[in-house]
Amino acid sequence: MQNAHLRLGLLEYQRATEKISTRIRVRVDRYVGEDRKAHLLSVFGNDSDIGAITAAVHEKATFTLTFPDGSNKEVTLGENPSCYKGSINLADRKHPVRHLVAASQEFHANGGVGRTILLRYQRDEAWAILVSFLGLPGEPTWADHVLGVLEKEERIKDLDGIGCRPVLLSATTEELLDWIGDGLRSQTLNFPERNGPIPWPRFSLEQALRSIPAHDMPESPESLID
């Protein structure tokens, strides 16, 4: 695979003791972060490297993250992260590629305390997620009004991302209910014509990860594993 380093990030972990010095480097295919705080980290490598990175995540270690453009910063997942590991079997490799997805405590409780992180921003998807996460009384056609208010109030912030274009929506349940109420009173919003369940469009994780064009993403991790 050619030019994979232009499409992936690099995560480096270093630890030194009196007797041994450890340096681990793994490739990053997905990342969501805010300043120094990593919220979502997806990496792959060999068995020992992924094991070491997993242990370091649980120890609240600080990593050096290099973005595809060559810039870098120190990041950490902080307290109480969640880790999920899996394997990818490749036909021409004797050993499977190991995969780790780590999520911060804040990302695991996404939508709480007035903060909702999305892998990409589209009004219809964002509104469906807010309604689901916050338990709002709403229906799909209200997306433009409510998200329009969020945009006008500058409550949408771009986050650092690799393999996605993440944003942070800052709004509490009470604020969103007020904006819905304002829309109904001004008749900008209307109640459904009849009672009953409201059909919502379905959005898959695969769709959310399509925010980066296919030609910008790696075809396979195999040539990047030592």
Residue 69 falls in which region: left (phi positive, over 0), alpha (psi -120 to 50) or beta: alpha
Give the DSSP per-residue string, 7-42: T-EEEEEEEE-SS-EEEEEEEEEEEEEETTEEEEEE
Local confidence band at 221 (pLDDT 50, 70, 90 cut-offs): very low
What are the domain boundaries of the chain? 4-108, 112-207
Q: 74-109 pLDDT, tens per residue?
A: 999 999 999 999 998 877 778 889 999 999 999 999
Q: 174-192 pLDDT, tens per residue?
A: 999 999 999 999 999 999 8
CA 109 distance to own-chain centroid = 13
Strand arrangement of the beta sheet that strand 156-158 belongs to: 115-118, 167-170, 156-158
Residue 215: is its pLDDT beyond 70?
A: no
With H, G, I as helix, E, B as strand and everything else as coil, classify residue 215.
helix
User: Quick check: 15 and 59 in contact, CB under 8 A?
Assistant: no
Mean pLDDT taken over the chain? 88
pTM value is: 0.84
> What pLDDT does 194 receive?
84
Residue 204: is its pLDDT beyond 80?
A: no
